[in-house]
Chain A
Amino acid sequence: MQKLEELVQFDRLENRLLRSGIAPRHVRGLMSELRNHFDDAVRSEVAKGLDPASAERAAWQRLGSEDSVVQSALAQPQLRALAARFPKLIFGGGPFLLWIGAIFLTVAAIVGSFDILRALDIVTPGAHPEPPWLYGPAIAVIFFYSRILPVAIGAAMLIAAVRQRLSLRWPMAGAVLISLFAGSTDITIKFSTHVGEPGELSIGNSLITVLAPITEALGIFKPEMFLRGIGLGLVNIAIVFAAYWLWQRYARLKAI
């Protein structure tokens, strides 16, 4: 059983390492080894004849000051977390880029799959309408990209920032950006219903209608679409922050 003073000292060192930008996985490893080292040092001092209290004091001295351990870690660039070095990029733009990248990879995978099926003469373009069982997976894909993935990415970024003891400013900005953009993005899959009719996959974003003078001139201004996009975006934001709040509650309960 660790003593309170020992727990506080290790906890303080752990927080300082995380705040200094050392990657959480390295901090966990370092702390585990430092605790083991401390135990070994206490045993060694007791074996030399010191009483337990003096042995602990001597073991702390042997470990060195908090500053020296933190400085030693900071001197090693390999231990620094990417998120601590580039918070704006990782937390501000990262979620959005990750989400866009995932959508494009999926579209590329779908198109690529059809190309392969065509090359193998398994599918002939326009020869038959898509089977009805494709509707279910298509709706699931749209739901995944507009609801589940952006919320999961936004919440994961917030949690990662807390674990790294970083400021929540950029992760929050990133979560709001991805939530709004994903909420206002419409992914539509239109299946062909009869032979010869092509299917259609379209991706659009209703926030573009905010450029009202231009979109009005182009005849594509749809205020109801804009408001719907904002509404769905706000729902995403609420889910992200609810997930983050639940995680914080869980983390606090786990710590008690």
Chain B
Amino acid sequence: MARKTNPEFMTGVPELLVLRLLSDREMYGYELVQAIETSTGEAIKVGEGVVYPILHALEAQGCLASRRKAVEGRMRIYYSATAAGKKRLGALMTEWQRITDAVATVVRGSKHAKA
């Protein structure tokens, strides 16, 4: 059985995180998964295998570029964000900000209601 993950509220989040992290530097899949966990303080946990379909889809959309690189005798596929990927990241971040602001407004409102 897979470890506990938090699929609720996760729609679009892995894509956002992947583009954000890969716009800083190129990474291979395993490295990227570790970076997601580290950068979110392990608050976001996804089955590590689910990242690969997202990487392939973003590459098919032209948002990511990949290159093969032999490291310690093993073939790694490194991904990096393209110009189109960075543009998409901007749009996703704006959308994310809009949602978090809306949720924050509701949460603040309910706190005020209690007070």
A residues contacting B by CB (< 8 A) are: 26, 29-30, 33-34, 36-37, 39-41, 61-65, 68-69, 71-73, 75-79
Contacts and interface: CB of A to CB of B under 8 A. Distances in A.
Contacts of A72: 47, 49-50, 52-54
26 contacts: A26-B56, A29-B56, A30-B53, A30-B56, A33-B55, A33-B77, A36-B29, A36-B30, A36-B75, A37-B52, A41-B48, A63-B2, A63-B49, A64-B5, A65-B1, A65-B47, A68-B5, A68-B47, A69-B50, A69-B52, A69-B53, A72-B52, A76-B54, A76-B56, A78-B57, A78-B60
B74 interface: yes
**Top 5 A-B pairs, shortest CB-CB distance:** A64-B47, A76-B57, A72-B50, A78-B60, A73-B53
Which of A33, A68, A75 gathers the greatest number of chain B CB atoms within 10 Å? A33
A140 to B, nearest CB: 40
Interface string B64-98: 00000000001111000000000000000000000
Contacts of A75: 53
Main secondary structure of the interface of B (DSSP, over half): helix
Given A33-B29, A40-B30, A76-B54, A64 B48 contact: yes
A30 B54 CA distance: 10
Nearest to B31: A40
